[in-house]
Amino acid sequence: MSGSLLSGSGWSGVLAAVAIAWPAANAAAEPLIIESWRNDDLVIWQDQIIPAFNAQHPDIEVVFAPSAPAEYNAALNAKLEAGTAGDLITCRPFDASLALFVAGHLESLNGLAGLENFSDVAKSAWVTDDGSTVFCLPMASVIHGFIYNKEAFEELGLSEPTTVSEFNAVLDALKEDGSYAPISMGTADQWESATMGFQNIGPNYWNGEAGRLALISGDGHLTDAAYVDAFKALAAWKPYLPRGFEAQSYPDSQNLFSLGRAAIYPAGSWDISVFNSQAFFEMGAFPPPVPAGQDTCYISDHTDIALAVNATSTQKAAARTFLEWMTTAEFADIYSNALPGFFSLSNHSVTLEDPLANDFLSWRGECESTIRNSYQILSRGEPNLENQLWNVSAQVINGTLTPEQAAAEAQAGLANWYPPQQ
Amino acid sequence: MSQPVRRRRKRFPFHIVVFLAPATLVYTVFMVYPLADSLRLSLFAPGEAGREIFVGIANYLTLLTDPLWSDRFWGALKNNFVFFVIHMLVQNPIGLLLAALLSSRVLPGRNTYRTLIFTPTMLSVVIIGFVWQLILSPLWGVAEDLMGLVWLDGLFAPWLGLEGSALITLALISVWQFVGIPMMLIYAALLSIPDDLIDAATVDGANHYQVFWRIKLPLIWPTIGIVSILTFVGNFNAFDLIYAVKGALAGPNFSTDIMGTLFYRTFFGFQLQLGNPTMGATVATLMFLIILLGVMIYFFIVQRRLQRYEL
């Protein structure tokens, strides 16, 4: 017997509502409440970002009130419907936020002072389809690549691989030595396989933006050789994953690497701050290796996070003041340095003190940037392409689907609802 | 001699209304109304500009016949039955066995056992999920080492991550957590059997097994029936353990997807998938109907055949 679903979720909803109402009821002047899924960043907001803002605007109290990442979208939607959401809303990229704007939950930010500090690419994840209205202020992007244990590489005389064949040679050497798991990744959480695997190495196969836009226009298909090859490259990882990787979760993968028991970690740049505080060995990073005979490298430089004003907020003026401050070089500098691995999307040039984060950032100059191919437009229908990629990527690594089957399944799902692919 | 009957108008029994009102009001506001409203919602679909349009039973047809939805629906229903069957075959017999052992007067330390076995029931499902994930982890779990003590470590596998075993493993974790409930209910029923009956049977020459099978078991069948129906309702409402361990996408390849996780994904959305309240209401209504059907089968077919004894 298990607890009942309906009564369970009902109570958590009530508790969440109480938790939100509580600070508002107690404070003399109502504070600005920021909704976010970045609960890892609570300390940084409390100790660095909000004090820096208050140094200029002492009269505006700001409270950072994050919820768990996996529950954020559902919780936020429920709170917006009920009118209990905070004044500032952290935006997921693309359709999730666009839907909130269309439903009238977010304010238009057109005319916000400082918006000119952001390029069109930076804003692309948070504008209406016709490009006329911006509704979230871009904060940061994340970059995919591989973080490796430098000491392990030195011990075995290995160097950073730049091509797929070099990458495979490094993996073979690590496997032969046997003291480190070559790659620290598991398939239990599914998203790891898709995001850290498929979307990490994939842009090199489908030529970044060109391939991504071809999928949207209908000129390219997921059954094309590029995508099958990306799945093949992913399937080749299986022998190099830790034993029992089928039940290995994301925190397991992080711990295995930060404990020094694995040599290479397929990373999102957001992992940098976790590893900086947990790993006691020197780390390096290399971009996704390129397939044989390819000169240009492509990286996933994914617009990830932005901030919007709740349309029903009672303090829109204060909220806009906060957003205007966020367009300044001061915020870009504090944010990028406080959160190494989240790279500011503004045009201000920022100096990063963290060497690992600097490695990631430097790839923007060497490689072509793109974003995850399932995020813009292609995850609007049923079945959801992003969810499908999670499922098939994990299955490709588990060996329960061949790369061809995985590509065919994803394409069939897309063709089911997306006219250009029919 | 008959007296003429003076018909006196009975006063309206206001006290009954007063006594019924609190429960009726609370149930209506918090149970009946939301249930009726989700039934209503399941007959609509999102239209232009956030308005909902009436579509009749179109949502149900989509959910049950469109391969895109029906694969997930029938898969979740099948998994849910597997989940339920494992509880019926493992949790309830073990609960019965434990209750029988605990009610015997010769077992020393039975109060301690009773408390220990019931303890997991009172823990949060999230904690249970986390603890078992750690125990069964192929990286740092103790399961493999413990199996090694009895030379069985060769049989160890990452059960929670394999398509063939993930659901069974989760069901067994749930059994481990909730076995205390059938145990306590059956234990209470066993205690209420008068000693005279057992003494009489013993005098007539019945041994322990005969006493259990011929005297005790027939007397506790109604309790076992109640336990079964509680298990059924609980399992078809289950959600939390799967969500805590495998997430809303219930991998690998939806092998642990049950009605509760399907409902959650559909209603609230997941990652880039936006929530679909009307379709979610359809799933919720079908969950309600399945549970209603099961409970009706129990009450009209099973319950009537159960013989009750006046003790």
pLDDT in tens, B4-50: 556 667 788 889 999 999 999 999 999 999 999 999 999 999 876 66
Question: Tokens representing A215?
Answer: 């999928």
Cα–Cα separations (whole angstroms), residue B238 to B24, B294, B297? 26, 15, 20
* Residues of A in Cβ contact (< 8 Å) with B247: 70, 189-190
In one letter, which amino acid is A411? Q
Give the per-residue pLDDT at A376.
85
Any bridge partners for residue A298, and if so which?
A368
* Residues of A in Cβ contact (< 8 Å) with B260: 5
In this structure, is residue B42 part of a structural domain?
A: no
Mean pLDDT of chain B: 91
DSSP state letter for A419: G
* Residues of B in Cβ contact (< 8 Å) with A394: 251-253
CB atoms A256 and B139 under 8 Å: yes
DSSP state letter for B94: H
- Between CA A407 and CA A389 the distance in angstroms is 9
In this structure, is residue B49 part of a structural domain?
A: no
CB atoms B269 and A73 under 8 Å: yes
Q: Write the Ramachandran bin of B62: left for phi over 0, alpha for psi from -120 to 50, otherwise beta.
A: alpha
Give the per-residue pLDDT at B3.
58
Count chain A–chain B contacts defined by CB atoms under 8 A. 148
CB atoms A391 and B260 under 8 Å: no
CB atoms A70 and B247 under 8 Å: yes
- ipTM attached to this prediction: 0.86
CB-neighbour burial class of residue A376 (10 A; exposed 0-12, middle 13-18, buried 19+): buried
| CA distance to partner chain A, nearest, from residue B84 (Å) | 9
Residue B197 has pLDDT above 50, yes or no: yes
- Give SS3 for A326: helix
Burial string for A244-267 (b: 16+ CB within 10 Å, else e) reads bbbbbbbebbbbbbbeebbbbbbb
| CA distance to partner chain B, nearest, from residue A249 (Å) | 9
From A243, A383, A386, residue closest to B138, measured CB to CB: A243
CB atoms A247 and B249 under 8 Å: no
DSSP calls for A289-317: PBPTT----EEEEEEEEEEEEBTT-S-HH
In one letter, which amino acid is B292? L
Task: List Cβ neighbours of B53 (8 Å cut-off, separation of 6 or more).
Answer: B44, B45, B46, B47
* Residues of B in Cβ contact (< 8 Å) with A190: 247, 249, 251-252
Give the per-residue pLDDT at B5.
58
- Between CA A118 and CA A140 the distance in angstroms is 11
Helices B217-236 + B92-103 axis angle, to 10: 140
Task: List Cβ neighbours of A176 (8 Å cut-off, separation of 6 or more).
Answer: none
* Residues of B in Cβ contact (< 8 Å) with A416: 68
Q: Which domain holds residue B264?
A: 54-305
Task: List Cβ neighbours of A291 (8 Å cut-off, separation of 6 or more).
Answer: A163, A164, A204, A205, A229, A233
Q: Match 């590893």 to its residue by tokens.
A: A275
Q: Give me the mean pLDDT over the B242-270 stretch.
A: 93
Mutate to test the interface with A, among B35, B63, B273 (most CBs of A within 10 A): B273
Q: Write the Ramachandran bin of A82: left for phi over 0, alpha for psi from -120 to 50, otherwise beta.
A: alpha
- Between CA B260 and CA B265 the distance in angstroms is 9
Burial string for A35-61 (b: 16+ CB within 10 Å, else e) reads bbbbeebeebbeebbbebbeeeeeebb
In this structure, is residue B123 part of a structural domain?
A: yes
Residues in chain B, total: 311
Please check whether the domain covering A5-141+303-363 is classified as CATH 3.40.190.10: yes
CB of B159 closer than 8 Å to CB of B166: yes
Nearest partner of B166 among B256, B84, B244, B259, judged by Cα:
B256
| Confidence category of residue B186, pLDDT binned at 50, 70, 90 | very high
CB atoms A94 and B272 under 8 Å: yes
Nearest partner of A239 among A292, A177, A175, judged by Cα:
A175
From B239, B252, B273, residue closest to A398, measured CB to CB: B252
- Between CA B81 and CA A151 the distance in angstroms is 51
Count of CA atoms in the C-beta half-sphere (13 A) of A413? 25
In one letter, which amino acid is A38? R
What CATH architecture is A143-301+371-421? 3-Layer(aba) Sandwich (3.40)
- Between CA A244 and CA B158 the distance in angstroms is 5
pLDDT tens across B114-149, in order? 999 999 999 999 999 999 999 999 999 999 999 999
From B237, B254, B272, residue closest to A5, measured CB to CB: B237
| Confidence category of residue B273, pLDDT binned at 50, 70, 90 | confident
CB of B56 closer than 8 Å to CB of B44: no
- Between CA B203 and CA B157 the distance in angstroms is 53
In this structure, is residue B9 part of a structural domain?
A: no
CA B184 remoteness from chain centre: 16
* Residues of A in Cβ contact (< 8 Å) with B275: 74, 77
CB atoms A8 and B239 under 8 Å: yes
Q: What percent of chain B has pLDDT over 70?
A: 96
- Between CA B303 and CA B311 the distance in angstroms is 19
Q: Domain map of chain A by residue range?
A: 5-141+303-363, 143-301+371-421
- Between CA A284 and CA B193 the distance in angstroms is 72
Give chain B's domain count: 1
Q: Is the dihedral of CA A201, A207, A209, A211 positive or negative?
A: negative
| Confidence category of residue B84, pLDDT binned at 50, 70, 90 | very high
CB of A144 closer than 8 Å to CB of A199: yes
Which residue of chain B is at minimal alpha-carbon distance from A79? Answer: B268
Answer with the residue of higher pLDDT: B307 or A389.
A389
* Residues of A in Cβ contact (< 8 Å) with B87: 1
- Give SS3 for A275: helix
CB atoms A387 and B181 under 8 Å: no
Residue B93 has pLDDT above 80, yes or no: yes
CB atoms A5 and B251 under 8 Å: no
CB atoms B136 and A374 under 8 Å: no
CB atoms B159 and A400 under 8 Å: no
Give the per-residue pLDDT at A18.
42
Answer with the residue of higher pLDDT: B311 or B3.
B311
Own/partner pairs, B218-222, CB within 8 angstroms, 24+ separation: B218/B307, B218/B309, B219/B189, B219/B193, B219/B309, B219/B311, B220/B186, B220/B189, B220/B190, B220/B193, B221/B306, B221/B307, B222/B189, B222/B306, B222/B308
CB atoms B68 and A244 under 8 Å: no
CB atoms A242 and B139 under 8 Å: yes
From B68, B136, B271, residue closest to A416, measured CB to CB: B68
CB-neighbour burial class of residue A108 (10 A; exposed 0-12, middle 13-18, buried 19+): middle
Residue A118's φ and ψ, nearest 5 degrees, are -120, 135
- Between CA A191 and CA A196 the distance in angstroms is 8
Strands A88-91, A32-36: pairing kind? parallel
Q: Is the dihedral of CA A144, A145, A150, A156 positive or negative?
A: positive
In one letter, which amino acid is A4? S
In this structure, is residue B65 part of a structural domain?
A: yes
Give the per-residue pLDDT at B107.
83
Give the per-residue pLDDT at A11.
42
In this structure, is residue B23 part of a structural domain?
A: no
Nearest partner of B129 among B183, B176, B93, B179, judged by Cα:
B176
Measured from the Cβ of residue B62, the count of other Cβ atoms closer than 10 Å reads: 18
Q: Give me the mean pLDDT over the B256-266 stretch.
A: 95
From B125, B263, B273, residue closest to A3, measured CB to CB: B125
CA B39 remoteness from chain centre: 22
CB atoms B158 and A244 under 8 Å: yes
Helix/strand/coil (H, E, C) string of B160-224?
HHCCCCHHHHHHHHHHHHHCHHHHHHHHHHHHCCCHHHHHHHHHCCCCHHHHHHHHHHHHHHHHH
CB of A357 closer than 8 Å to CB of B241: no
CB atoms A78 and B251 under 8 Å: no
A143-301+371-421 shares the fold of A5-141+303-363:
yes
What's the CATH number where B135 sits? 1.10.3720.10
| CA distance to partner chain B, nearest, from residue A3 (Å) | 7
Give the per-residue pLDDT at B4.
58
Per-residue pLDDT of chain A (422 residues; tens, 9 = 90+): 344 443 334 344 444 444 444 444 444 468 999 999 988 889 999 999 999 999 999 999 999 999 888 788 888 988 998 899 999 999 998 888 998 999 899 999 999 999 999 887 788 899 988 888 999 999 999 999 999 999 999 999 999 999 999 999 999 999 999 999 999 999 999 999 999 999 999 999 999 989 999 999 999 999 999 999 999 999 999 999 999 999 999 999 999 999 999 999 999 999 998 899 899 999 999 999 999 989 999 999 899 899 999 999 999 999 999 999 999 999 999 999 988 889 988 888 888 899 999 999 889 889 998 889 998 889 888 889 999 999 999 999 999 999 999 999 999 999 999 999 98
From A3, A398, A416, residue closest to B240, measured CB to CB: A3
DSSP state letter for A141: E
Residues in chain A, total: 422
